[in-house]
Amino acid sequence: MELKGKVALITGASRGIGRAIAIELAKRGVNVVINYRSNEEEAKKTEELCRQYGVETLLVKADVSNREEVREMVKKVIDKFGRIDILINNAGILGKTKDPLEVTDEEWDRVISVNLKGAFIVTQEVLRYMKKGKIVNIASIAGKDGGTVGPHYAASKGGLIALTFNLARHLAPNILVNAVAPGPVDTDMLSSEMKEMLKKLSLTGDIAKPSEVAHAVIFLLENDHITGEVIDVNGGRLMD
């Protein structure tokens, strides 16, 4: 896919991986829609960073697990740009606890609703308008090996990988669907203590930068012969 001039919707783009993806797309001339749920200040920073590359931007507040908010978000994108060529399902949250015995029904439902159901809702609403394009889901190493941050998070990311495969089969050849599964990433979702511990588990001796995950996304968007694949960005922690 030639990226310049395309329109991309990135969920959870106020910071971290989502911000890095938005910036890398803007560098390549992609007009970016920056979705956020609550942190408008950080979302505006992402928008400013993208605008310096001369692209058009749109800032949209929406909880991806809320169907009506998502529908309104997509409508705003269509009203402004007339189309959506690229969807990046990045929005995600961690639970408060890692212990399976301590996860409450409410916490389980919230993590699954944002990380898995939210990705499906956004995809479904976007597909009402996208006839040809690319979708990339941001999964996790936890979706493959169970991870260390809780059963609800692992289940949501494992489900997202399965959803990627299902959509790839149903939407080809006009819409290609892939996923990127990062290991630990240097974002504010992890404490400094956790980052240091996780660095020791990586064959590279470090954890990924958000930009390194973003580069994997760009690769999938630019290549027109890959669909139904999951690219691992985990420093050699998972080899299969």
Q: In whole angstroms, how large is the CA radius of gyration of the chain? A: 17
| Angstrom distance (rounded) from CA 73 to CA 127 | 13
In this structure, the strands spanning 230-233 and 175-182 are parallel
Question: What CA–CA distances, in Å, run from 76 to 19, 67, 72, 73, 202?
Answer: 20, 14, 6, 5, 42
61 - beta bridge partners? 36
Tokens of residue 66, six digits: 């809320």
Residue numbers annotated as active site: 153
Cβ burial, residue 201 (10 Å; 0-12/13-18/19+): middle
d(CA 170, CA 90): 21
d(CA 177, CA 136) in angstroms, rounded, equals 6
